[in-house]
Amino acid sequence: MDVPVIYPKIAEPVALIGSMSRDMVLYAGYAAVFASVYLVARMLLSEEERSAAQENLADVRNRKASSKLVQTTRPFFTQYVVPMVRGKKMWDSKRLVYRRRLIAAGLRDELTPDEFIAYKFFLVAFFPLVGMILNALGMLDLSWYTIVGAGAGGFFYPDFWVKSLTTRRQKQIIKSMPFIVDLLSLSTEAGLDFIGAIQKVVDKAAASPLVDELAQMLREIKVGSSRADALREMSNRISMTEVNSFVAILISADQMGASIGKILRQQSDQIRVERLLRAEKEGAKAASKVLLPSVLFLLPAVLLMVAGPFVLAFFTGKGN
């Protein structure tokens, strides 16, 4: 009896298996190529991100700061806290408020709104941490509620700092305003237009917050803003009653075609009168403020000098 030949039936699965093996090897090769490309791209991107982060950190460290605390802690809160704040829509309304406050305080080039928000949250943890370290070193003896209160103070400290800078900057603006307005008036009366007069003041006047604001206004006009819009924006940045009224008069005079030189001369005289009245008002306040320390400290000393000998003579009996 003949045995059937089964070799062809075995050869077909073997060929099929060989074909599948070749396909799997091919797919594995494709996968290896894609994985290699992904790893190389990932490595390059991570290297780019790392270099960008280092450049950003170097820029942060080189940026000027009017506060030693900001300069010392900026690398930490910009690197670790700012990413948690940046891009969050819940802070959009606060960003507008803080941007205006930072500009009014002259911190436009030092802090962004996101950095300011991150700085507030950073100090909530930084102040208690410093207190606990000083406690551990035995330099201070702070209670737990004092340390917790330091965290709350850390959150509100940047607001008080910005407010104090704003007040100081406004005083500098009020002090330099009559001189700047006089220069503008002389320049316009000499034949320059208003923009040319402002450019002359920016080039020749000594550095001050008002000169910086005028320079910013010129930059806005050069990029396409109208004169009225640039003046209003400057008024909003400074946020002072005197500047607001001055800007409003300039805008009205410009729209009506009145002589800017005469308006500036009148404004200069009015600003000097207002500054004199303000000085008299502060002098009157100083007199009332000095009265209480005089009564508390000077009057007892005078009474002691006048009545002291009589009291001693009465008790020692030498007055007889």
290-299 residue pLDDT tens: 878 877 888 7
Mean pLDDT of 251-274: 78
| C-alpha span between 67 and 309 (Å, rounded) | 55
146-195 residue pLDDT tens: 888 888 898 999 999 999 999 999 888 888 888 888 888 888 888 888 78
Is pLDDT at 86 greater than 90 in this prediction?
Answer: no
Mean pLDDT of 34-51: 49
Is pLDDT at 40 greater than 70 in this prediction?
Answer: no
pTM over 0.95: no
